[in-house]
């Protein structure tokens, strides 16, 4: 299953089918939903992909103790891009003594790093 913030979306990772959408952004909503599933269903869950929320991780560990937890790729890429942006901005201030500009090489490469693969040309 996959758990996402804001409205919590529970998705079957094998099929991509949405299992349920729950209002809430907290671990309590995850716990409540997982507890409402039949015991046999919970025992069959092998993998869970979540965002980096400690509350979500705790709720999954308590209710699906056998499941392996990973972070979904969207949130990993989002964090990596944020870090790259912070480093680029800091280096622009250190080297150029100003904010980066569109003509700067670091700014041009930033666009490459944040594009979807299918939007890039060879």
Is the distance from CB of 34 to CB of 63 less than 8 angstroms? Answer: yes
Provide the edge-to-edge strand list for the sheet that holds 18-22. 18-22, 8-11, 2-3, 47-50, 68-71
**Res 64: pLDDT:** 96
Confidence of residue 8 (pLDDT cuts 50, 70, 90): confident
Is the pLDDT at 3 greater than 60, yes or no?
no
Is the pLDDT at 120 greater than 70, yes or no?
no
Residue pLDDT, tens place only, 83-103: 888 988 898 889 888 888 878
Supply 79's token pair. 């964090």
Is the pLDDT at 113 greater than 80, yes or no?
no
**Res 5: pLDDT:** 53
Residue pLDDT, tens place only, 17-75: 999 998 887 899 999 999 999 999 999 999 999 988 899 999 999 999 999 999 888 88
């Amino acid at each position: 299953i996959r758990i996402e913030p804001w409205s919590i979306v529970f998705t079957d990772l094998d099929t991509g089918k949405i299992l349920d959408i729950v209002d809430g952004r907290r671990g309590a909503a995850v716990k409540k939903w997982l507890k409402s599933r039949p015991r046999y269903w919970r025992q069959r869950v092998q993998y869970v992909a979540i965002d980096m929320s400690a509350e979500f991780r705790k709720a999954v560990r308590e209710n699906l103790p056998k499941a392996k937890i990973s972070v979904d790729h969207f949130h990993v890429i989002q964090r990596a891009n944020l870090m790259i942006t912070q480093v680029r901005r800091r280096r622009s201030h250190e080297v150029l003594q100003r904010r980066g500009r569109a003509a700067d090489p670091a700014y041009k490469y930033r666009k490459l790093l944040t594009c979807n693969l299918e939007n890039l040309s060879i």
